Structure 1
Amino acid sequence: MTEAEQAGRPAGVTTTADGKSAPRGRRRIAALLLVAAFAYLVDLGSKLAVVARLEHHDPIQVVGTWLQLEVIRNRGAAFGIGEAMTIVFTVIATAVIVAIARIARKLYSLPWAIALGLLLGGAFGNLTDRLFRSPGGFEGGVVDFIAVPHFAVFNLADSAIVCGGFLIVILSFRGLDPDGTVHQD
């Protein structure tokens, strides 16, 4: 019998300093890591495939001119902005990874685990390109290949980052914190 059950509380319930019960769920670090690994591996696999089959070829029209696959190496941010600041983007990606690791210590919310996992997988995907693609050494070009008209060419890591960020905004507006608590303002 667990200590909580001996004290007359169900398992998974802790008490606060004033003696009241406070429900606590399982940590969601495993979910965060699974989502991050999935996002990273899908991004890495897609980049390896498009570089091997599409680089130095004409764009492939998937849905007419509305969706094309066109390989470019982007050393900057969206729309190629800041190409001379590749090291800065590498530092930012590293900072995001460190921040997610710190937040993960107090993570009890599955939706937050999914959102942070998407951010983590996407950040690792683009960081891998910056570290290991030509010219290497924190200055590599990120492989972008999804082209839609009048927009930046992007990749699946970028999509994971945007989806994770969007989910975080929704969770924040709904008042759900990473530790699983809900606050009402």
Structure 2
Amino acid sequence: MQARWQPDPADHEATFLDGIRTAAKAAARIVFLQELTLSRYLADERPANEPNALAEQLPGGPTHVFAAKAAAETRVTVHASVFEKADGADGPDGLGYNTAILVAPDGTLLARTRKLHIPKTAGYYEDHYFRPGPAAANPYPVIDYNDPLISDPYGRVLVSAPRDRDAVLIADLDLDQRRDWLDRLPLLATRRPDSYAALTQSD
């Protein structure tokens, strides 16, 4: 689901909740909400103050609480995204994490993934807000793409959203297709980590 940001938090949450209900009525089992779900995209400009002050605790912050309530009401799993506060030894530089979460209908935080690749360019000053997430041993894979769409493992776009209005996209996904794709293109089995060191070297 995609929705324009609304400055009134209650209106913003109501829009998402309505979309989650719509998807649930269409028999969705999981609903994906947009990046930085309950806030505007703040990295379009440099921060005026310490950015971590704008971040949320996880678990227990507003986005997690909203996702848990929505999941409980609709009985679907909810994916959301949050500017996660980095505390203690992880937080001396004032940066947080851009974190994706999965919340079950019973409120369980099933998984979280902290964004690894942080854009650094005009209009995307994410490096002024977010630190790169650690490479977890069992990551919850999230692929960030600007245009809202649903595709299958073969890269075919099943449905896409307009860019000028709120939208709820619904599609049936065959999870066995991923296994088939990996069998046809065994890229993971043919990786060459011995050749990756050069990628970390600056020119």
- TM-score by length of structure 1 reads 0.31
Greater share of residues in helix = 1
Structure of greater Rg: 1
Q: Which has the higher contact order (CA 8 A, sep 6+)?
A: 1
